[in-house]
Structure 1
């Protein structure tokens, strides 16, 4: 978490912004949530997750290593991860056709605005103009609410 916190501090110092807008794809969304849990939301104006397994993925049960174990449905780390939607403007962009997050509904986050993008697989979300437009629209909306945020 220290490298991410350090990078956020550096961006704030370089830009003069008071807060950042965070985005994370897949486990990156979980990392952003872990950052917010550990460091608080004083430096964040909003969060957008893309294909993030908020409630885990059954596919993780065949994956090796700590990260795969953390993404298994019902994992204690996931259960204890604070929900940023309670204190921060949060959008979860997900695909009902995600081929990594199973079931696909596990990419939705309780309390957040959940936005489906049909017809895309997990990795295809990274290259989709529709996803890029949804992300930019969310950031524009969040930035309007928090006039001193910088996109990271």
Structure 2
């Protein structure tokens, strides 16, 4: 198409096209950099190691079966031990998650981590993201987490305050920690958020305290209506484990429903 132009005009057109191409490339790089700086790694990032955060009390046994299943599926999975007896300040537990995340990234050479937080572990994961973890968190999946508190902690604080240490008080419905965490945006950009819970939860009351604005919210019963899984069974339940595996794949969180029950529970 340039053959009809004079040599000087051809050189001019080629120079202009080169400048336009360079500008487009530079703009693409700038936008990609800004997306990383502002929004974190995003759902399209390569899935990295998985960190599993225990609930109140810090017990790791129930999460180990989920970690084993993740490893069988080819994922690098680690259960994060909580400081002390797992009933202390949730911010200290979030600091332990930060340390575990940095160690996992250094060990694997990956750029992002996925986090699965069980019960209070989901609140710990949110505290970590709010305190800087958004820069490396690709996906956060919470299981039966009292994001808006639980009446059980309220009751413990009222009737047996000596048996309700700091971590317990921070899970009450009027907790200043949860009030700050839920002020404004409950699910900061740059992280894929999924909250899974059971409608039969008797520990997190009401069960839909687990609902997170801006997250993919799934009850186990919305996938398999006849599921009788309770709070303590969530990490080890085969159906719940299958749901977690679906949510830790590359790309956006995966909406699930009754049509997926047979496939996930089989």
TM-score normalised over the length of structure 1 = 0.88
Partner of 1:65: 165
Q: Does structure 2 conserve the Cα–Cα contact (< 8 Å) formed by 1:84 and 1:90?
A: no
CA RMSD of aligned residues (A): 1.4
Counterparts in 2 of 1:44 and 1:84: CA distance versus 1, 3 Å: farther
Q: Which of 137, 149, 170 is matched with 1:44 structurally?
A: 137
Partner of 1:122: 231
Partner of 1:148: none
Partner of 1:133: 242
**4+ runs deviating over 4 angstroms:** none
Counterparts in 2 of 1:2 and 1:75: CA distance versus 1, 3 Å: closer
Deviations, residues 79-136 of structure 1 (Å, cap 9, x unaligned): 1015552312100001110110101110111111101013211111121111000000
CA distance in 1, matches of 2:100, 2:186: 20
- Structure with greater proportional strand content: 1
Q: Does structure 1 conserve the Cα–Cα contact (< 8 Å) formed by 2:116 and 2:142?
A: yes
CA distance in 2, matches of 1:105, 1:6: 30
CA distance in 1, matches of 2:169, 2:122: 16
Partner of 1:144: 251
The alignment of Structure 1 onto Structure 2 pairs a total of residues equal to 143
Residue 153 (structure 2) pairs with residue 78 (structure 1): no
Tell me which of the two structures has the higher relative contact order, counting C-alpha pairs closer than 8 angstroms and 6 or more residues apart: 1
**Aligned-pair distance for 1:70?**
0.8
CA distance in 1, matches of 2:236, 2:100: 24
Q: Which of 107, 125, 129 is matched with 2:210 structurally?
A: 107
Gaps of 5+ in 2: 1-93, 157-163, 222-227, 253-266
**Aligned-pair distance for 1:76?**
1.3
**More displaced stretch, 93-102 vs 66-75:** 66-75
Q: Does structure 2 conserve the Cα–Cα contact (< 8 Å) formed by 1:36 and 1:84?
A: no
**More displaced stretch, 58-67 vs 129-138:** 58-67
Partner of 1:27: 120
TM-score normalised over the length of structure 2 = 0.51
Give the greater-gyration-radius structure (CA): 2
Q: Does structure 1 conserve the Cα–Cα contact (< 8 Å) formed by 2:146 and 2:171?
A: yes
